Structure 1
Amino acid sequence: MRRLVAFLLILAFTASASAAAPEIKVNGNESIDFLVNGQLVGRYIVHPAAPKPHFFPLNSPSGKPVTRAFPMVKDLPEETKDHPHHRAAWFCHGDVIPEGITLTRKVKNVEGVDFWSESPGLGRIVCVEVGKPMRDGNHAWITTKNEWRTADEQKIMDETRTLHVYDLGEARLLTFDIDLHASVVPITFGDTKEGSFAVRVAEFMTEKRQKGGVIENAEGQRGEAKCWGRKSAWCDYSGPVEGEIVGLAILDDPRNPHPARWHARGYGLMGANPFGRRRSGFPDALEQKELVKLSRDEHLRLRYGILLHPGDAKAGKVAEHYERFVKLGEAKP
């Protein structure tokens, strides 16, 4: 863990210039830095060779790394090496079905294209355009455009993704405005637990380590057994990093047309999945059969937040910050 902290401190220092809160810096076609008071909140990877756009790292307000480094950093002996497709923080889905397109490569138990896992024969989300960073008070934002492609590089869907960063004083907030556009063919989002807006938390924060890590949702339910597959406005993962309790919450906007069920695991995964139905096994989706579908040229708009805070869910005031997240969405540019 000390090696990881040292690496991220160097990264934060090199990303920082004069203190200005908040700020977004574009690093060519490689990445986008999100900063508050000159300190790195997160680096968003947009390189076209990446399997999907993703954040790495994400840092707490005090600069502690709250996401796992693997597979972006491969030689940290204290980290697990499971699920190499868990790239710190990302959005995708494990079964996206493009009507009328013949898929030359099929994956077991996946009807369409798997964007969740990473291996030959699976889909990729490619960032094809990065806009100009914008700033307004304690808020900065940038718009990117992505193409969802099959293993044969055939586009099946367009996406406009606007990312915002807010300075909340004792906390940091990243929000994602996601516009999925069925620009090519009708799209169906398959029934799988493998999705969708997700993070993989730092190793020592996990419940599995039994060092004080805990998953908690908006209903006050705690632990994987009580949170997995449940519907809730938010879900939080907190635990110790370098002697400090820090936390990360995913926030599900109440205006999202399809509420999330939580794919939250004791080993460190936490994902908001709006598409899982009966087959996913989610307890709060067992009565749902109808899949989410988009007609040709239809849009699906979703909004999520990542709250980076000190302490656990209570100390980090996640419930209070969630209300602010909702209001910010009503007033966003």
Structure 2
Amino acid sequence: MRSRNKIQWGTAGVLLSFFFGMNAPLHAQKDQVKLIRKDAEKKVEVRIGEELFTAYLYPETIAKPVLYPIITSGGHEITRGFPLAPRPGERVDHPHHIGHWMNYGDVNGLDFWNNSDAIPADKKDKYGTIRHTGITALNENGNSAELEVTMDWLAPDGNVLLKEKTRFVFSAEGKKRTIDRITTLTAQSEPVSMKDNKEGVFAIRVARELEHPSNKPEIFTDANGIPTTVASLNNEGVSGKYRSSEGKEGDDVWGTRGEWVTLNGEIEKEKISVVILDHPSNPGYPTYWHARGYGLFSANPLGQKELSGGKDVLNFGLKAGESVTFRYRIMVYSGEIPGDEVLNSEAGSFGKEQ
């Protein structure tokens, strides 16, 4: 009898293993992160299951590589469409604000931040450009994937000021999607100065629905003294609001320090929270926030004098051959607005990662 029972249980075990084995991949497949390289189109698509999450774009028609668009698990784009794919009713200011990017407004006196095709040819000698130079790794691992790329930070004469190596880690967990960016910049044959400047560093330009409601036009002046008017628009469906780890909210977040900032709102009844986490190893930690109600969501650890009203000064720089690494995390929540306790826990876990 014992032998027969063993056979019965063994058969059941095989059947159970087969049953769960058939179902587990289906569940895993839903959150499986895939990297699809499309060299001819100068992009790498990041898909979760079969759905597009984001894409690394590096055409030479824009002044730096970007991640665009960034899409929630509910299917809504958190990034503005303009200038790559304009949508009705959105703002058309600051054409250099595309998806997610990372650069700075003063690198050896050159403005990498504001460069775009809107800059006249006779003014281009004041602006720097970042060019993609290679894809060095693509690794998929279930519900996460890593993309490693290289870039050159170029002066107008083609001189390479900085070489960049960036590792993106894309992951999915239920309705939450995450992007880690680990960027190492290495000065080349000459020292690199990155004087305090409000235009930087790690940024997202968000969709109209995630902006702060506003009923008046505003004018913002960049570091070169060039004014840009941000027009007043219809506020229907506009619901964004910033909150920082220090309890600052709305426009009060701008020019303050914090370990994290979340931008909460709704797009077509989907509750959305977009979070940026700083990392303790970054220069200037905890970062200052260059977060504007019109949709610019940026962590700027290097522009301390401009963002603190002169209270703090950094004037960061690298000697020839010297490197610095920046690490940030973007989290996109769908269907929920996480509280401070959750985000403090996320920041604590992220801060322990090396």
TM-score (norm 1): 0.83
Q: Give the alignment partner of residue 242 of structure 1, picking from 268, 278, 284.
A: 268
What is the DSSP-based 3-state SS (H/G/I as helix, E as strand, rest coil) of the residue aligned with 1:133? strand
2:184 is the alignment partner of 1:179: yes
Partner of 1:297: 321
What is the DSSP-based 3-state SS (H/G/I as helix, E as strand, rest coil) of the residue aligned with 2:148? strand
Partner of 2:256: 230
What is the DSSP-based 3-state SS (H/G/I as helix, E as strand, rest coil) of the residue aligned with 1:173? strand
**1:72 Cα offset (Å):** 0.7
Partner of 1:257: 283
2:314 is the alignment partner of 1:274: no
Partner of 2:12: none
The answer to whether the Cα contact below 8 Å between 1:180 and 1:301 also exists between their aligned partners in 2 is: yes
The answer to whether the Cα contact below 8 Å between 1:60 and 1:247 also exists between their aligned partners in 2 is: no
CA distances 1:234-270 after superposition (whole Å, capped 9, x unpaired): 1111212122221211111112132220000111111
**Partner Cα separation in structure 1 for residue 112 and residue 149 of structure 2:** 18
Partner of 2:88: 77
**Partner Cα separation in structure 1 for residue 142 and residue 33 of structure 2:** 8
Partner of 1:198: 203
More off after superposition, 130-139 vs 232-241: 130-139
Letter of the 1:114 counterpart: D
2:127 is the alignment partner of 1:116: no
Q: Give the alignment partner of residue 38 of structure 1, picking from 47, 50, 64.
A: 50
**1:288 Cα offset (Å):** 2.4
The answer to whether the Cα contact below 8 Å between 2:210 and 2:265 also exists between their aligned partners in 1 is: yes
**Partner Cα separation in structure 2 for residue 27 and residue 46 of structure 1:** 11
**1:19 Cα offset (Å):** 5.2
What is the DSSP-based 3-state SS (H/G/I as helix, E as strand, rest coil) of the residue aligned with 1:208? coil
What is the DSSP-based 3-state SS (H/G/I as helix, E as strand, rest coil) of the residue aligned with 2:348? helix
**1:316 Cα offset (Å):** 11
Partner of 1:6: none
Identity over the aligned pairs, expressed in percent?
28
Q: Residues 27, 318 of structure 1: CA spacing in aligned structure 2 closer, same or farther, 3 A cutoff?
A: farther
What is the DSSP-based 3-state SS (H/G/I as helix, E as strand, rest coil) of the residue aligned with 1:132? strand
Partner of 1:11: none
Partner of 1:62: 74
**1:303 Cα offset (Å):** 0.2
**Partner Cα separation in structure 2 for residue 45 and residue 136 of structure 1:** 22
Partner of 2:350: 325
Instruction: State the Cα RMSD in Å.
Output: 2.0
What is the DSSP-based 3-state SS (H/G/I as helix, E as strand, rest coil) of the residue aligned with 1:204? helix
What is the DSSP-based 3-state SS (H/G/I as helix, E as strand, rest coil) of the residue aligned with 2:131? strand
Q: Give the alignment partner of residue 138 of structure 1, picking from 109, 134, 143.
A: 143
**Partner Cα separation in structure 1 for residue 269 and residue 314 of structure 2:** 46
**Partner Cα separation in structure 2 for residue 230 and residue 290 of structure 1:** 15
Q: Residues 306, 266 of structure 1: CA spacing in aligned structure 2 closer, same or farther, 3 A cutoff?
A: same
Within-5 A mapping of 1:93-104: 93-97=104-108
**Partner Cα separation in structure 2 for residue 181 and residue 322 of structure 1:** 27
Letter of the 1:293 counterpart: G
Q: Residues 295, 113 of structure 1: CA spacing in aligned structure 2 closer, same or farther, 3 A cutoff?
A: same
Q: State the number of aligned residues.
A: 293
**Partner Cα separation in structure 1 for residue 177 and residue 31 of structure 2:** 14
CA distances 1:41-70 after superposition (whole Å, capped 9, x unpaired): 111112234210111100112121101000
Partner of 1:207: 212
Letter of the 2:291 counterpart: A
Q: Which runs of 5+ in 2 are unaligned?
A: 1-28, 215-234
Higher helix proportion: 2
The answer to whether the Cα contact below 8 Å between 1:85 and 1:116 also exists between their aligned partners in 2 is: yes
TM-score (norm 2): 0.78
CA distances 1:124-177 after superposition (whole Å, capped 9, x unpaired): 100010123112343210110000011232211111011111122231110011
Letter of the 2:34 counterpart: E
The answer to whether the Cα contact below 8 Å between 2:194 and 2:317 also exists between their aligned partners in 1 is: yes
